[in-house]
A and B are shown apart, each in its own frame.
Chain A
Amino acid sequence: MAKYSKFAAVGLLLAFPLLVSSDYYRHIMILALMWVVIGSSWNLLAGYTGQISFGHAIFFGVGAYSAGLCTTKLGISAWWGMLIGGPMAMLFGFVLGAICFRLRGTYFNLATLALAEILRLVAKSWVSLTEGMMGILTIQTFRSKVPYYYLAFGIAALCVFAIWAIIRSKWGYYFVAIREDQDAAEHLGISAFRYKSISLLVSSFFTGVAGAFYMNYMGFIDPDVVFSLYYISIMAILVAIIGGAGMIWGPPVGAFIMVLLQELFRSAFFGYLPKWISEAHAMAFGILVIVVIRFMANGVVGDWVKLSGLFTRQKAPIPSVTSGN
């Protein structure tokens, strides 16, 4: 049953632009697919390797700016950013890893957060390169949403598949070993630094590609949007947690939930509820953080049995010890 529902979901996603012609709904779906990529990337580093990054905005922003700078500085199409953005983000990921991986736990979280803030401030004040708060404005290539939709779908599928393959390989087991107990893993001969770096490089690559896609799709970026602590770094964490961290299907499910919820509040439930609700959408985001952490720490996918138990009145069985899949 669960197996078929995945195929059904993928099929439904493929057919979505044919079924729904409204650009507004297509736009939401494109954003959700983009968040599938970011959430899954974050999940590889945090959910599987145990390194909770509070700075994924770095990679998103670097990817977006690589694409934007292609147009403004090199005079070539921003689509080249799709090729350059990933490797550029990896470069930053490499530096971030060199600095932060000697730290653990809370120190690591804070270091990533601080680096992201540094990058935001630099992007804001280095006007000759980034145009500062003016941001970068390009003209979108396609007027229709459909090409963007399938591109986003392609990236998301590639990302989820790549992470799925990595997790099933030897690397995946190394990652989980490091998450569970870094010292024990090192004693077994797993170089924690090397495998944490590999995890981070893969993670930053896909986040960078997502950033470059965002630049191409939205046509406008500025430092406060793409390097945002709340709306990129924290959002990435939420997407993974609400879906279920440490599970392949967690972040994809979480991405759709989060993007839909955010859009519901932003548009005041598509206009059915009074307008002041849309003014409070940032508050809704905060409340969502609290509720998710408080009641659904293992996400929709992780707590699925518990959630469905709410309706069927079945008691959740005692969870078995899993290897993190």
Chain B
Amino acid sequence: MEMFIQMLVAGILIGGIYALIGLGMTLIMGVMRIINLAHGQLMMVAMYITYVLYFYLGIDPYFALLVAMPALFLLGVAIQKYFLNPLLKIDSIIPQNQILMTVGVGIVLTETIRFIFRSDYKSVKTSYSSATFMIGNISWNVPMFVAFGLAVALTAGLFIFLLKTDAGKSVRATAQNKDAAMIMGINADWITQLTYGLGAAMAAAGGTLLLPIYYLFPDVGSQFTLKAFIITVLGGMGSTVGAIVGGIVLGIAETLGATYISMDLKDAFGMVIFVVVLVFMPGGLKELTKV
């Protein structure tokens, strides 16, 4: 039982970070109706930025958030502006070419990083990387706990942005009905860029928070792309609340599955949940919560 609770806690903590990553993808999904298959790769770029800041300048990964997030925001805006938006004007037989474009962007990002840093595994070992504290019989990993807290704070920040600010309202309006939003004078081009930038920045935050407890190599992105889209579908596409629940469900499912069933299939559990959800509950958790 104790083991079970311990695993549950670990699952929830990692789930908080997953939720952060999934949230970015959900935003993009909600506004552009495309799945961003470069999401994990954007996160990977942020992780390398953090790594460089830590390794060469000695900046703590948590402070590196202040650099990595704006940097990825700009990268995201540029990708949307120069690669994705022009596709809207092209008439082709394959309607999903924006998704394919994100695949291409993802490959280029991975390979650029591989070119610069090689394929070696890297990690950021801070003084607190393996620190833990105990509550009762359950041990809590300090960096995971901090990461979870920051993830919650960032998520709250995003919600305030979406609910209270003018730009946030424009984002939600565009997600609900793009044409109507444009008639109301919302610059849809800019909103898509803003959304993609925000999504990339959220992914960057997830990557940076993950770095002290994870390892880093150029291909690390693809597995997180898959996780992010599992979360997006699990939560119901475009549902931000759903993404948070989805992230935590995925975190728990992975940890419990890895403990009780098989370590090797850890990544497959998410996929199986994903397919089950798609088949039996295509609207995702959104169907249950109606949010």
Binding site for B on A (CB under 8 A): 46-47, 52, 99, 102-103, 105-107, 109-111, 114-115, 117-118, 121-122, 124-125, 229-230, 234, 237, 241, 245-246, 279-280, 282-283, 285-290, 293-294, 297-298, 302, 324
By a CB distance below 8 angstroms, the chain A residues around B92 are 245, 297-298
By a CB distance below 8 angstroms, the chain A residues around B115 are 279-280, 283
Which residue in chain A gives the minimum CB-CB distance to B229?
A110
Which residue in chain A gives the minimum CB-CB distance to B106?
A286
Determine if B275 and A99 form an interchain contact, defined as CB atoms under 8 angstroms apart.
yes
Determine if B101 and A293 form an interchain contact, defined as CB atoms under 8 angstroms apart.
yes
Determine if A294 and B275 form an interchain contact, defined as CB atoms under 8 angstroms apart.
no
Determine if B275 and A241 form an interchain contact, defined as CB atoms under 8 angstroms apart.
no
Among B110, B267, B268, max chain A CB count under 10 A is at: B268
Does B2 make an interface contact (CB < 8 A)? no
| Given A106-B99, A293-B97, A294-B83, A287-B108 contact (CB < 8 Å) | yes
How far does the alpha carbon of A279 sit from the alpha carbon of B114 in the complex, in Å? 10
By a CB distance below 8 angstroms, the chain A residues around B99 are 106, 109
Q: Beta-carbon contacts of B272-291 to A below 8 Å, as 1s and 0s?
A: 10110011001000000000
By a CB distance below 8 angstroms, the chain B residues around A107 are 233, 237, 278, 282
Determine if B96 and A287 form an interchain contact, defined as CB atoms under 8 angstroms apart.
no
Determine if B94 and A286 form an interchain contact, defined as CB atoms under 8 angstroms apart.
no
Majority secondary structure of chain A interface residues (helix, strand, loop or mixed): helix
How far does the alpha carbon of A83 sit from the alpha carbon of B265 in the complex, in Å? 31
Does B152 make an interface contact (CB < 8 A)? no
How far does the alpha carbon of A294 sit from the alpha carbon of B112 in the complex, in Å? 20
A106 partner, pick from B96, B222, B271, B272, beta carbons under 8 A = B96
Determine if A286 and B100 form an interchain contact, defined as CB atoms under 8 angstroms apart.
no
| Given A102-B279, A234-B103, A109-B96 contact (CB < 8 Å) | yes
Binding site for A on B (CB under 8 A): 33-35, 83, 86-87, 90-97, 99-101, 103-108, 110-112, 114-115, 222, 226, 229-230, 233, 237, 262, 264-265, 267-268, 271-272, 274-275, 278-279, 282
How far does the alpha carbon of A279 sit from the alpha carbon of B279 in the complex, in Å? 41
Q: Tell me the smallest distance from the CB of A322 to a CB of chain B, in Å.
A: 10
Determine if A282 and B107 form an interchain contact, defined as CB atoms under 8 angstroms apart.
yes
Which residue in chain A gives the minimum CB-CB distance to B29?
A106
Determine if A285 and B107 form an interchain contact, defined as CB atoms under 8 angstroms apart.
yes
Determine if A290 and B274 form an interchain contact, defined as CB atoms under 8 angstroms apart.
no
Which residue in chain A gives the minimum CB-CB distance to B104?
A289
Sample 21 A-B pairs with CB under 8 A, ordered by A number.
A46-B94, A106-B96, A106-B99, A107-B278, A114-B275, A115-B271, A118-B268, A121-B264, A121-B271, A122-B265, A122-B268, A125-B265, A125-B268, A234-B103, A241-B94, A280-B111, A283-B107, A286-B111, A289-B101, A297-B90, A297-B97
How far does the alpha carbon of A106 sit from the alpha carbon of B106 in the complex, in Å? 18
Determine if B86 and A241 form an interchain contact, defined as CB atoms under 8 angstroms apart.
no
| Given A297-B92, A298-B92, A298-B93, A110-B262 contact (CB < 8 Å) | no
By a CB distance below 8 angstroms, the chain A residues around B108 are 283, 286-287, 290
